[in-house]
């Protein structure tokens, strides 16, 4: 494209602009929307555009007393002249993709040049205004430095318009809260009278743009002309309503409405959020690991959280980190704040399952449980003081702030229904309580892809029984302790199977290291010793023997089932008893899928399978439930992924645990990572947190290799994804391009997964956090 072609009409006073593809590519900001409106035959104030490169060439030509480009520039300026042939007064505006501080405000009432020379003379009004506009790009917040300079200079354009007659009016094409078709007032102000033509203009502009716009128009009697337009940020609920309305108006098809909806914004509709965060006092920032906002009084123990809930008061559980013993307090609290942990920490996982807002990894938080105080940033707080947390962006605020409660109307149901019609990957949920299962079903889950069996022990009574089993000295002691645990879990599983009404339920065998369930504090050790009939000194000796240097890579997962076969026996007996009990109560056959975690060799999987199948065959299951039973494994270690062809021959399905697979591929502890990942991102070493968005080049390639090898060895192999990445839109788009049968995510992320997977697999955004 020549420099002459970089000065052109966007919306000429007469005729059509007839831009080339290259010229259309130059359009940015308001110039793009004005051209769109003009092409839709809408009334637009005459507008032309010029690039920085063309303007600098004109100035260089002026200094060399040449006029070839200037002749074309003058001809372009004449595209602003109407039928009367009289050059109008002019307006000069910047036209950035995104507005930023420092950009020149519109220069209004600029005198048209009296001759060709004045059109480029820096001392004359028009040229001076254009020069100032380009200069303001350099002084804006996104100014140029080094390599950035040459990249951003290319995208700078300035628009010159004919000064419009009449009164200038601001309005939105869609109401910011309801999504109703406008004209709608901006910022809750008064709209005032607009001509009847305005409604037609808004309807056509909305149809052409396919998104809400903030408009500036000139109104002269009953005549209205568009002066400027830019995308308007409206609420997530309003966007959904607008999408459905466009389908009802036959502007979009249902599939177009699905394709244009941002899955990340959908998440906002499912949780409370702050009404006015910009005016609030941020006292600390951590990781937003479970979305939504919560306000309440500070509590430091699970017991105090339960007491607050019993009194009908909202509270924020503030702790260094959470563990299994805190589960009841986490359920009772309105929100959770921790000093340690990341996206896959205990607090984050439980919070997402239960739908609680959670901020983790707040490095400026320290808790003194003895004094019942904490420091957050520079401030000290006591139990009963009020704070607000935002689990979406990780901010912690002083005091109790106003929240807006989620509102889920018919639009979201319609949109998700359209999504389901256009996707072929099933969406399941990670859940292991009846409450979580019902939440998942209400959001459209088609099965349970991950029921963490160990989470079913998160209550005081069950914890005592589990600790008795872990601390037993021999098999006889363990067998006695396990008897009670079978009874506990049988009822749990039966209730889940009944709630699922024949949909698949994938249960992961006991996975985490045993130390997570053992007492840590002196108080807890004394209480546990008493409940087990042991001396505290004897208990401490047993705890020392069970301690591991690196438990997340130690005695966990399949290794527990092999070294303690009675644990495997207990789990299977409870599961199968739950199948029989549910089968007696319902007509739909129970669909149980058992998977063994943390495997690295086919011999481990074969050893477990032989014992599992022997127990199943002896369990006297109803024939329909028996025929639906499936055995599989989680792929969480690189070696298992590389040996997928061997493992696939002895299982019915793979489910990729992307949290641990990321951890073991990178050699990064997912709980300790927040301490340095933020620094990596600030220094540009990582583009994103690999525990939030899947690393496609590394972990993603391992998954793709494992699927290919597994399917080659076993064409009937079912493939699932059950890590937290299964609820992240960017990661889901990657999974959509693989041979995946289902994904499984936290219940509150199910709608996000349903929508994202319906959008298919467009070209990827960042594929790896670092090269």
Residues marked active site are found at 346, 722
Lookup result for tokens 């401490």: 540
Q: Tell me the Ramachandran region of residue 717: left when phi exceeds 0, alpha when psi lies from -120 to 50, beta otherwise.
A: beta
Place of tokens 């006297």: 620
Distance in angstroms (rounded) separating the CA atoms of residues 366 and 375 = 5
Eight-class DSSP state of 87: P
Give, in degrees to the nearest 5, the angle at Cα 136 between 49 and 168: 60
CA distance 602 to 583: 33
Strands (E), 189-233: 213-220, 223-231
How far is the C-alpha of 51 from the C-alpha of 1, rounded, in Å?
A: 12
> Of 481, 655, 495, which is closest to residue 577 (Cα–Cα)?
495
Query: With the C-alpha atoms ordered 409, 410, 415, 419, is the resulting torsion angle positive or negative?
Result: positive
Burial per residue of 635-644, b for 16 or more beta-carbon CB atoms within 10 angstroms, e otherwise: bbbbebbebb
> What span, in angstroms and rounded, lies between the C-alpha atoms of 161 and 583?
74
- What one-character DSSP code corresponds to residue 44? B
Report how many helices (DSSP H) and strands (DSSP E) the chain contains, helices first.
30, 30
The residue count of the chain comes to 771
184 close to 200: Cβ distance less than 8 angstroms: no
Residue at token pair 């007491």:
307
Residue with tokens 């394709």: 259
CA distance 488 to 571: 11
- With CA atoms as reference, report the closest residue to 432 among 505, 381, 366: 505
Nearest residue to 631 (alpha-carbon basis) of 645, 610, 646: 610
What's the alpha-carbon Rg for the chain, to the nearest Å?
A: 31
Asked whether the bond before 183 is cis by omega within 30 degrees of 0, the reply is yes
At residue 273, the 3 state secondary structure works out as: strand
Paired tokens of 223? 């005549």
Q: Which residues pair with 161 in a beta bridge?
A: 47, 91
* Beta strand 373-376 pairing with 379-382: antiparallel
CA-CA distance, 361 to 678, in Å (whole number)? 11
Please state whether beta strands 181-184 and 167-174 pair in parallel, antiparallel, or not at all (unpaired). antiparallel
Residue 684 in tokens: 């540009």
Calpha distance 659→27 (Å, rounded): 42
On whether the CB atoms of residues 729 and 229 are closer than 8 A, the answer is no
Q: What are phi and psi for residue 331, nearest 5 degrees? A: -70, -35
What is the rounded distance in angstroms from the CA atom of residue 632 to the CA atom of residue 568? 15
Cβ–Cβ under 8 Å, residues 443 and 751: yes
């Amino acid at each position: 494209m020549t420099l002459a072609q970089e000065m052109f009409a966007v919306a000429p006073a007469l005729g059509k602009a007839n831009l080339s593809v290259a010229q259309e590519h130059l359009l940015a900001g308001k110039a793009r929307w004005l051209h769109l409106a003009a092409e839709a035959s809408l009334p637009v104030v005459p507008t032309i555009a010029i690039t920085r490169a063309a303007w600098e060439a004109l100035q260089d030509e002026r200094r060399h007393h040449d006029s070839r480009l200037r002749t074309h520039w003058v001809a372009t300026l004449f595209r602003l002249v109407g039928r009367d042939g009289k050059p109008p007064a002019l307006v000069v505006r910047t036209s950035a993709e995104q507005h930023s501080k420092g950009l020149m405000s519109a220069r209004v009432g600029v005198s048209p040049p009296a001759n060709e020379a004045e059109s480029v003379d820096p001392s004359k009004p028009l040229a001076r205004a254009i020069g100032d506009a380009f200069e303001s790009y350099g002084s804006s917040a996104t100014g140029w430095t080094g390599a950035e300079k040459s990249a951003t200079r290319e995208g700078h354009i300035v628009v010159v318009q004919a000064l419009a007659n009449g009164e200038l009016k601001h309005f939105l094409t869609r109401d910011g809260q309801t999504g109703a078709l406008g004209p709608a007032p901006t910022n809750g102000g008064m709209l005032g009278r607009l001509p009847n033509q305005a409604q037609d203009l808004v309807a056509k502009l909305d149809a052409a743009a396919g998104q809400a716009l903030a408009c500036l128009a000139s109104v002269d009697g009953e005549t209205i002309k568009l002066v400027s337009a830019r995308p308007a940020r409206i609420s997530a609920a309003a966007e959904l309503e607008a999408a459905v309305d466009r389908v009802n108006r036959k502007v979009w098809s249902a599939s177009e409405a699905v394709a244009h909806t941002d899955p990340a914004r959908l998440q906002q509709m499912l949780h409370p959020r702050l009404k006015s965060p910009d005016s609030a006092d941020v006292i600390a920032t951590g990781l937003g690991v479970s979305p939504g906002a919560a306000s309440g009084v500070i509590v430091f123990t699970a017991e105090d959280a339960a007491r607050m809930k019993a009194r009908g008061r909202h509270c924020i559980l503030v702790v260094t980190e959470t563990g299994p013993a805190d589960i009841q307090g986490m359920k009772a609290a309105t929100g959770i704040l921790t000093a340690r942990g990341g996206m896959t920490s205990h607090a984050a996982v439980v919070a997402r399952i239960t739908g609680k807002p959670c901020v983790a990894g707040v490095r400026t938080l320290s808790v003194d449980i003895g004094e019942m105080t904490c420091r957050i940033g520079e401030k000290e707080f006591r139990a009963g003081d009020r704070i607000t947390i935002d689990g979406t962006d990780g901010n912690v605020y002083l005091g109790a702030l106003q929240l807006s409660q989620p509102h889920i109307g018919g639009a979201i149901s319609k949109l998700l229904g359209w999504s389901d019609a256009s996707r072929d990957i099933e969406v399941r949920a990670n859940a292991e309580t009846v409450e979580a299962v019902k939440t998942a079903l209400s959001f459209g889950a088609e099965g349970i892809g991950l029921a963490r069996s160990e989470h079913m022990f998160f209550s005081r009574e069950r914890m005592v029984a589990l600790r008795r089993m872990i601390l037993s000295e021999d098999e006889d002691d363990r067998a006695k302790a396990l008897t009670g645990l079978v009874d506990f879990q049988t009822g749990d599983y039966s209730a889940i199977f009944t709630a699922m009404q024949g949909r698949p339920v994938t249960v992961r065998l006991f996975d985490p290291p045993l130390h997570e369930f053992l007492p840590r504090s002196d108080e807890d050790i004394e209480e546990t010793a008493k409940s087990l009939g042991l001396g505290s000194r004897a208990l401490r000796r047993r705890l020392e023997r069970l301690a591991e240097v690196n438990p997340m890579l130690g005695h966990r997962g399949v290794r527990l089932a092999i070294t303690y076969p009675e644990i495997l026996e207990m789990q299977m007996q409870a599961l199968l008893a739950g199948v029989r009990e549910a089968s007696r109560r319902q007509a739909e056959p129970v669909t149980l899928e058992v998977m063994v975690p943390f495997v690295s060799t086919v011999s481990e999987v074969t050893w477990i399978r032989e014992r599992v199948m022997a127990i199943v065959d002896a369990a006297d299951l109803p024939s329909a439930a028996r025929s639906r039973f499936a055995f599989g494994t989680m792929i969480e270690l690189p070696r298992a992924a590389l040996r997928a062809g061997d493992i696939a021959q002895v299982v019915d399905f793979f489910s990729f645990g992307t949290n641990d697979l990321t951890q073991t591929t990178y050699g990064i502890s997912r709980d300790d990572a927040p301490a340095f990942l933020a620094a990596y991102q600030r220094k540009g070493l990582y583009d994103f947190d690999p525990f939030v968005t899947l690393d496609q080049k590394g972990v993603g390639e391992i998954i793709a290799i494992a699927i290919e090898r597994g399917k080659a060895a076993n064409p009937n192999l079912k493939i699932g994804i059950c890590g937290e990445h299964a609820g992240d839109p960017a990661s889901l788009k990657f999974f959509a391009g693989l041979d995946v049968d289902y994904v499984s995510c936290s219940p509150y992320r199910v709608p996000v997964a349903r929508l994202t997977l319906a959008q298919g697999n467009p070209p990827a955004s960042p594929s790896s956090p670092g090269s």
